[in-house]
Structure 1
Amino acid sequence: MAVKTLTINDRLVSARESETILEAARDAGIHIPTLCYLEGVSEVGACRLCLVEIAGSNKLQPACVTKVAEGMEIQTNTERLQKYRRTIIELLFAEGNHICAVCVANGNCELQDLAVEMGMEHVSLAYQFPQRSVDLSHARFGIDRNRCVLCTRCIRVCDEIEGAHTWDMAGRGHNSNVITDLDRPWGSADSCTSCGKCLMACPTGAIFARGSTVGEMTKERTKLEFITTARKKGEWLVQS
């Protein structure tokens, strides 16, 4: 497989031609913030937090879905990018109902971590206060759509790793929301296997284990990558 040589933040980096900018940067120990990206499932470039500047292009490009190319010159942490990222985080807080102090994921939330990383001390945008539902019909799990950031990670792990495709997206724009089995209550979704992979994938406290208290819930997202890798390598196949 051909190797490409590129420059990231003025550092020479080598990467396989099949890799994305995000993968190449991570291999080189260069941090690029993400929210919708999750190891072990497909990339969708939904959150736009991983936008980078590429020399010769006026457009910012999402690092998670942009393939490397020979001679690329990339900047990942300019003032322009930091401004865009902070605005994205503020928009997510303003368009949802995120109250960290009473959230089960307080202290273990990727959105919260990103707000700290961007130095966001307040939201300068007008809060939308949407009317979003909470579904507690499932015996083991619940979903509070007020905390959902529409990253689609739950949809992708359910489809690509569990193979159930219980979750999907409905609505458009401001009315977008995740649903189960064509908008049936989660507890009556026949396709759900109660595996909990959607809970492990969720970056916020939107999907939670019932009975979790404030700041109590932690998630082992590395299990999802482990399952995907094991399947690709055939490590679980029974030898005859």
Structure 2
Amino acid sequence: MTNIIGSAPIGLLTGKVVFITGASRGIGAAAARLFAREGAAVVLAARSTDALQRIVTEIRADGGVADAVTLDLADRASIRAAIDRVEELHGRLDGAFNNGAAIQRPGPLDTTSDEDIDEQFAVNFRSHWTAMTAEAALMRRNGGGAVVNTSSIGSRRANPALPAYGAMKRALNSITETAAVSWARDGIRVNGITPGGTATKMIDAWEAATPGIVERVKASIPLGRMAESHEVAEVAAWLLSDRASMVTGAIVPVDGGAGA
């Protein structure tokens, strides 16, 4: 029987400083807790400072090392300031999990608003570009590191329900692969993950806008259920760890077989 509760920590990220965006909820919050349990000193970033602080308090109470920084993924200066804060706190950066996601109003391509397109561009594409380059600059000072970008199963095929979201996530896959090749000689590995249906607030919002979508998504997943946020975070943890030392430029599905 599949264990979906989580595994005992093994020190996968011991000694590493890891920066996590979108860390106030969903996959990002699960990653914050998991990475800290696996030994990382984590710096959590999101717009919701109160939610971040609750997670930081929880991690510290469990003996982990955690700090929070306010971050607006639509603001390039805010992203760069957050990376500067990581340097102030720890003097280096070993891993980054770029996990922000904007929610698009579901609908066909020809009725997608300019505002939706602009938001998807700012949050799901440009923010990653800005974050990756700032993260890489800090990583180079200490011999390298690893970056993981959260893309989506929607980037791997036609996406009639979320066309702008899918388009920007596909573009994210491209710069993930390009960065992996460009920065390999700097000792920086760059990979992406493509979650499928995952039990998060984004799916809840999609269900509210399109009733029945959750059941349709579940029906498309060979494993027969949605992923839990921590299951997606587990894959990111491995990619950020030294166990994945020969893995770069990969776009790893975390979708229960839905994309197979």
TM-score (norm. length: structure 2): 0.29
Q: TM-score if structure 1 supplies the norm length?
A: 0.31
User: 1 or 2, which has the higher helix percentage?
Assistant: 2
Larger radius of gyration: 1
